[in-house]
């Protein structure tokens, strides 16, 4: 997805070995559709050349405030007025201190000071040694730049160029891209806490084998990401899937339907919206064998007895928080046929305000999908698109429905 189409980003590089990551970050911004204007400090040019950044951005790089290419000799004004955001990556401890002090004796700090703060956000990706990161002066300065309106994106932890290990690494380019994209999304769920279930469950037959389904978890993970982008606190209860956790999302991994039920019920007291995306197994073996069930050569198939799993969505929908209109429930139905009829019946059976239906065989494992929204007034289709685009549309739907639902209208 070209999530940054039409956006003009000033990418500022300060002195630090993490400048090597800025090359990939610039490439990702361009790939996402952004126009990228690179501005570097003199110190940054010691770690990566302006030629490299110009090749990746497709635009001349600015280093000096006296750059004669600007007709009015004011790049600090012109570049800031053209920008939709300024991203400092890497941002050194020294440069953070300069921002706090309002220093403006070189182009990049001058550009940050002169930016129209009400419409051009400043996003900071710190990068430094672990001792520098934890130093009280750095932490005071970070708190102050945040209080002054900048968005501090945090740091990673791991091996550092100096040979030490700890906090202070610049976040990876993919993580920064996700954070920048999120910064541009409308915060329609600010103040809300979403609880999302995603993926399949696995019901053990024995220590080796079990019963599961084709759900990849991609739709639920996309909803978790979209909700976080929209300003919500997000808890994701995930079945056995191999997907990276969306930035800023708290993840709880489970295996079986019972584990998912227990984890979900433990989180509902803090949630204001519950989105049940997971494809939960309807049945589980009545007993799981302690050892692998083996063939005995007789040709006889072993008899397996099953018992029904608890209905997680129905259980939550019957809770006091839902009755008191403190928890809004959204269900998902994966069908193989007659989607509209089955979705309407399931919504009525569960007693929830919104049911989202899709045809499972057409979406499991895919990166795109189409959705059918079913409520008490009827149904509406969201046409096939990427799962993230659909997740953002669904988040907008939920945000728009919450006020009336809370009022009981």
Domain ranges of the chain: 8-184, 193-407
| pLDDT category of residue 298 using cuts at 50, 70 and 90 | confident
Whole-angstrom CA distances from 117 to 72, 137, 149, 166 are 22, 25, 8, 33
The order of strands in the sheet holding 8-13 is 35-40, 8-13, 85-91, 122-126, 151-152
Catalytic residue, chosen from 26, 91, 112, 162, is 162
Residue 362 predicted with pLDDT over 80? no
CB under 8 Å to 408, separation ≥6 — which residues? Answer: 325
- Axis crossing angle, helix 136-147 with helix 93-101, rounded to the nearest 10: 50
The mean-pLDDT minimum among 48-52, 154-158, 279-283, 340-344 falls in 340-344
Q: How far apart are CA 281 and CA 283, in angstroms?
A: 6
232, with CB counted inside 10 A (0-12, 13-18, 19+), is buried
Would you call 162 a catalytic residue per the annotation? yes
b/e 270-289 (16+ beta carbons within 10 angstroms → b): ebbbbbbbbbbbeebbeeeb
- The fold for domain 8-184 equals Rossmann fold (3.40.50)
3.40.50.10300, 3.30.70.1140, 1.10.3720.10, 3.40.50.150: CATH of 193-407 = 3.40.50.10300
Q: Which of 120, 92, 123 is nearest to 16 (CA)?
A: 92
Residue 361 predicted with pLDDT over 80? no
Task: Specify whether the CB–CB gap between 357 and 337 falls below 8 A.
Answer: no
Q: Which of 88, 155, 154 is nearest to 121 (CA)?
A: 88
**CA dihedral over 245, 246, 251, 257, signed as positive or negative:** negative
**Residue 9 three-state SS:** strand
Q: How far apart are CA 382 and CA 356, in angstroms?
A: 10
Q: 340: phi > 0 → left, psi -120 to 50 → alpha, else beta; which?
A: alpha
Q: How far apart are CA 198 and CA 215, in angstroms?
A: 9
Task: Specify whether the CB–CB gap between 80 and 111 falls below 8 A.
Answer: yes
Q: How far apart are CA 197 and CA 251, in angstroms?
A: 10
Do 8-184 and 193-407 show the same overall fold? yes
Task: Express each pLDDT in 204-251 by its tens digit.
Answer: 999 999 999 888 999 999 999 999 999 999 999 999 999 999 999 999
| pLDDT category of residue 356 using cuts at 50, 70 and 90 | very high
Average pLDDT over residues 150-178: 95
Cis, peptide link before residue 52, omega less than 30° from 0? no
Q: Which of 45, 16, 12 is nearest to 129 (CA)?
A: 16
The mean-pLDDT minimum among 142-151, 152-161, 260-269, 297-306 falls in 297-306
Average pLDDT over residues 83-103: 97
Whole-angstrom CA distances from 111 to 41, 105, 187 are 11, 10, 27
pTM of the model: 0.90
Task: Express each pLDDT in 315-330 by its tens digit.
Answer: 999 999 999 999 999 9
The mean-pLDDT minimum among 69-83, 86-100, 179-193 falls in 69-83
Which pair of tokens denotes residue 24?
Answer: 């990939």
Task: Specify whether the CB–CB gap between 130 and 179 falls below 8 A.
Answer: no
The mean-pLDDT minimum among 101-115, 132-146, 238-252, 287-301 falls in 287-301
Q: How far apart are CA 356 and CA 334, in angstroms?
A: 9
């Amino acid at each position: 997805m070209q999530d940054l189409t039409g956006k003009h980003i000033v990418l500022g590089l300060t002195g630090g070995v993490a400048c090597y990551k800025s090359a990939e970050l610039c490439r990702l911004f361009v790939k996402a559709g952004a126009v990228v204007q690179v501005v570097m400090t003199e110190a940054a040019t010691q770690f990566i050349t302006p030629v490299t950044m110009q090749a990746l951005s497709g635009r001349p790089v600015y280093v000096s405030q006296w750059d004669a290419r600007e007709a009015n000799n004011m790049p600090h004004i012109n570049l800031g007025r053209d920008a939709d955001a300024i991203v400092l990556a890497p941002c050194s401890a020294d440069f953070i201190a300069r921002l706090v002090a309002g220093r403006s004796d070189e182009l990049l700090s001058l550009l940050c000071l002169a930016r129209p703060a009400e419409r051009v956000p400043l996003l900071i990706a710190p990068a430094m040694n672990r001792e520098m990161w934890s130093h009280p002066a750095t932490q005071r300065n970070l708190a102050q730049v945040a209080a002054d309106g900048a968005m501090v994106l945090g740091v990673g932890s791991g091996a550092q160029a100096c040979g030490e290990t700890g906090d202070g690494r610049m976040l990876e380019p993919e993580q920064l891209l996700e954070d920048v994209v999120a910064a541009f999304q409308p915060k329609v769920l600010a103040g809300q806490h979403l609880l999302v279930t995603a993926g399949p469950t696995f019901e053990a037959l024995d220590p080796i084998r079990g019963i599961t389904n084709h759900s990849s978890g991609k739709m639920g993970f996309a909803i978790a990401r979209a909700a976080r982008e929209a300003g919500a606190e997000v808890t994701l209860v995930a079945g056995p899937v191999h997907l990276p956790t969306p930035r800023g999302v708290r993840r709880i991994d489970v295996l079986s339907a019972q584990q998912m039920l227990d984890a979900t019920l433990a989180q509902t007291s803090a949630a204001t919206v519950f989105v049940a995306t997971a494809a939960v197994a309807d049945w589980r073996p009545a007993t799981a064998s302690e050892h692998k069930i083996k063939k005995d050569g007789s040709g006889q198939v072993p008899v397996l007895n099953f018992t029904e799993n608890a209905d997680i969505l129905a259980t939550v929908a019957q809770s006091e928080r839902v009755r008191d209109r403190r928890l809004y429930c959204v269900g998902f139905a994966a069908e193989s046929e007659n989607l509209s009829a089955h979705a309407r019946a399931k919504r009525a059976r569960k007693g929830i305000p919104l049911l989202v239906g899709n045809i499972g065989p057409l979406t499991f494992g895919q990166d795109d999908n189409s959705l059918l929204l079913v409520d008490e007034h009827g149904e509406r289709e969201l046409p096939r698109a990427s799962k993230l685009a659909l997740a953002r549309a669904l988040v907008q739907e939920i945000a728009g429905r919450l006020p009336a639902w809370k009022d009981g209208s």
